[in-house]
């Protein structure tokens, strides 16, 4: 199934971490950046991370694999594929924090939320037209594109 994914134009990723900042904001219960970071009740983890070894920077997140090992590994069925977007998403109610998905993920793209004791990962900002990281990348190093099209470039 062709689906849109977040791709990194690595030569212009400058490791500013703003994708993380806006990811965290978009997954917060507050839409105010300052509150999302400062108030404990609104805090959460960014669902991506920056791999940095100067001069290389790379904004890494879930690849939403066609055959996702995390879905197969999940003990409770908390991870599943969203039929509409093709994204691998987490049902927090079902997640028991066993971290099996983290062991299974070949990209290291799933994080432990040790406060809520749930696994968190990129959901391509379900409900938004463009993922927050892409929208706010100051150098347009992140693009949201159909994978098939990108391969043909």
Partner 1 sequence: MKTLVPPQFRVVRDPERCIQCQVCVNQCSFNAQYFDAEDKVVRTREENCVGCHRCAALCPTRALTITRNPMDYKANLNWKSGDIEDIWRQAESGGMLLTGMGNDKGYRIYWDHLLLNASQVTNPSIDPLREPMELTTYIGRKPDRVHVSADGVKLETTLAPQVKLEIPVMFAAMSYGAVSLNVHESLARAATEMGTLWNTGEGGLHETLYKYGQNTIVQVASGRFGVHSKYLHAGRVVEIKIGQGAKPGIGGHLPGEKVSADVALTRMIPRGSDALSPAPQHDIYSIEDLTQLIYALKEATNYTKPISVKIAAVHNSAAIASGMVRAGADIIVLDGLRGATGAAPKVIRDNVGIPIELALASVDSRLRQEGIRNQASLVISGGIRNSGDVAKAIALGADAVYIGTAALVALGCHVCQQCHTGKCAWGICTTDLGLTRRINPDIGAQRLSNLLRGWGLEIKDMLGGMGVNALESLRGNRLHLRGVGLSDTELEILGVRMAGS
31 burial type by CB count under 10 A (0-12 exposed, 13-18 middle, 19+ buried): exposed
**Given 93, 129, 140, 151, the residue binding partner 1 (CB under 8 A):** 140
Comparison of 52 and 147: residue with beta carbon closer to partner 1 = 52
Shortest distance (Å) from residue 3 CB to partner 1: 24
| Coil vs helix vs strand at 137 | coil
Q: Which residue has the tokens 């806006």?
A: 22
Binding of partner 1 at residue 38 (CB under 8 A)?
yes
Tokens at residue 101, please? 């998905």
Backbone angles phi, psi at 104, to 5 degrees: -80, -25
Sorted by sequence, the CB contacts under 8 Å of residue 135 that are 6+ apart come out as 22, 128
Residue of the chain from 2, 40, 41, 54 that contacts partner 1 (CB under 8 A): 54
Return the residues of window 78-137 that contact partner 1 according to CB under 8 A. Answer: 136
- Count of residues binding partner 1 (CB under 8 A)? 24
Residues of this chain that interact with partner 1 (CB under 8 A) are 9, 11-18, 20-22, 33-34, 37-38, 54-55, 57, 136, 138-141
């Amino acid at each position: 199934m062709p689906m849109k994914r977040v791709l990194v134009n690595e030569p212009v990723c400058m490791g500013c971490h703003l994708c993380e900042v806006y990811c965290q904001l978009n997954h917060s219960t507050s839409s105010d950046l300052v509150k999302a970071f400062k108030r404990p009740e609104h805090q959460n983890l960014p669902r991506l991370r920056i791999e940095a070894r100067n001069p290389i920077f790379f904004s890494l997140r879930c690849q939403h694999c066609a055959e996702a090992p995390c879905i197969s590994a999940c003990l409770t069925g908390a991870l599943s594929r969203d039929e509409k977007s093709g994204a691998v998403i987490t049902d927090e109610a079902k997640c028991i924090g066993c971290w099996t998905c983290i062991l299974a993920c070949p990209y290291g793209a799933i994080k432990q939320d040790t406060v809520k004791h749930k696994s968190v990962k990129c959901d391509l900002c379900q409900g938004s037209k463009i993922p927050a990281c892409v929208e706010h990348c100051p150098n347009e190093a992140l693009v949201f594109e159909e994978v098939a099209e990108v391969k043909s470039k």
